């Protein structure tokens, strides 16, 4: 832990050494909130979000705060480690360049990204046979058919698919995605409902809550958990597609036999869960933070062009058994695009296969996912050595961005 502030109703404990002013203000609001418990925990990648810092962890007594979960409910990471040597992929030519280029190119044109959806509804046990209890919730009834076109798609912003190599040159696959527009709609409806139902929270904070014993609170928890299941299945479906593309191309061009999956992880970093901490059952909200209880495997990605890590939780109670979910942004997207050039950003991802920077509004290049927009991932890991143990370091070799 880097510092502690005890000036408010409950303390703020931070693993982020230099917290931006807006994020500090949001943390202060949380520490004065009428329903937060014990202390506020800030991970080393913390930066400002809607209402609550991304990279923040709070405990609430008998309430849930929709904006402390976030708009992308269940956003998280998927990962597999294989026994395939990456050095061999660049030695084999295909019509789309070497085999590594061909894999990245095929994934890029196969998995819908950005605002892209499937052209036909996807088969999904979760969506085809949803629990009866969630079909009583209006927003889910309204959105579930559209969700069938969204599941198995990446999304935009900082969502990505990445081919990586571990320190023994073995191929790894990683992706970052969540509950798409389905989760966003749930989050928006229940945040607006929370604003209507309680008046003991400063309106400008955007931290309105729902009592868990109220109908609205119970419905939000059901809807949130269903969105978490959606996000997990979304990542699983994409990973199956990515594995299929990768393994089929390798078998076609390399005749590599005996492909093995050594390790697989699928985790959330935007959710609330009922857990016991400091002798009390409380609702832990992790917004841009992941569970790091004892020996749990986690994923802490870097940025485009920088290393990512597989970690093992140490179960530190001071962080509510949590850790960072990534490197964390240094600056907003608009500011970054104003202050950086394409040449600088190209240089930062030199050696990584990438289809190019996407175009934002008015046709201008969006450079805001370049490595310079994020904190140094190794500094972030150093700041949370009391939260996690690194077990695997991964270097990016190809990336598909949303």
Angle 180-197/138-150 helices, nearest 10 degrees?
Answer: 160
CA angle 271–276–278, rounded 5-degree value: 115
Q: How many residues does the chain have?
A: 402
Give the whole-angstrom CA distance, residue 322 versus residue 316: 7
**Catalytic residue check, 340:** no
From the list 33, 117, 269, 325, the catalytic residue is: 325
Structure token digits, residue 312: 């093992």
Asked if 75 and 268 touch (Cβ cutoff 8 Å), the reply is yes
Catalytic residues, which ones? 325
């Amino acid at each position: 832990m880097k510092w502690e502030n005890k000036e408010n109703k409950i303390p703020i404990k931070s693993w982020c050494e230099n917290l931006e002013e807006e994020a500090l203000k949001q943390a202060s609001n949380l520490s004065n909130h009428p329903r937060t418990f014990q202390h506020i925990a800030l991970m080393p990648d913390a930066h400002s979000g809607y209402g609550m810092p991304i990279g923040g962890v709070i405990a609430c007594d008998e309430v849930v705060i929709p904006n402390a979960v976030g708009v992308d409910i269940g956003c998280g990471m998927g990962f597999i480690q294989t026994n395939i040597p990456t050095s061999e992929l660049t030695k084999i030519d295909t019509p789309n360049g070497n085999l590594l280029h061909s894999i990245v190119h095929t994934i890029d044109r196969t998995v819908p990204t950005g605002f892209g959806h499937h052209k036909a509804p996807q088969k999904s046990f979760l969506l085809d046979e949803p629990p009866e209890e969630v079909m009583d919730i209006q927003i889910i009834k309204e959105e579930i058919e559209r969700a069938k076109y969204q599941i198995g798609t990446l999304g935009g912003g900082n969502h990505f698919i990445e081919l990586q190599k571990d320190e023994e040159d073995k191929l790894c696959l990683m992706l970052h995605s969540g509950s798409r527009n389905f989760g966003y709609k749930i989050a928006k409806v229940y945040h607006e409902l929370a604003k209507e139902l309680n008046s003991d929270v400063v309106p400008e904070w955007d931290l309105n809550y729902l009592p868990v014993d109220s109908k609205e609170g119970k419905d939000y928890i059901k809807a949130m958990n269903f969105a978490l299941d959606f996000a997990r299945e979304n990542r699983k479906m994409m990973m199956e597609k990515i594995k299929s593309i990768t393994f089929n191309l390798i078998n076609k061009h390399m005749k590599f036999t005996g492909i093995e999956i050594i390790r697989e992880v699928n985790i959330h970093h935007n959710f609330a869960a009922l857990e016991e901490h400091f002798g009390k059952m409380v609702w832990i909200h992790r917004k841009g933070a992941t569970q790091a209880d004892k020996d749990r495997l986690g994923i802490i990605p870097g940025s485009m062009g920088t290393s990512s890590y597989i970690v093992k939780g140490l179960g530190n109670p001071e962080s509510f058994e949590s850790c960072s979910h990534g490197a964390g942004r240094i600056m907003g997207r608009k500011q970054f695009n104003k202050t950086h050039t394409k040449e600088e950003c190209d240089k930062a991802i030199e050696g990584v296969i990438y289809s190019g920077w996407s175009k934002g509004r008015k046709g201008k290049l969006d450079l805001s996912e370049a490595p310079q927009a994020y904190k140094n991932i190794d500094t972030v890991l150093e700041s949370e050595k009391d939260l996690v143990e690194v077990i695997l370091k991964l270097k990016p070799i190809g990336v598909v961005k949303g």
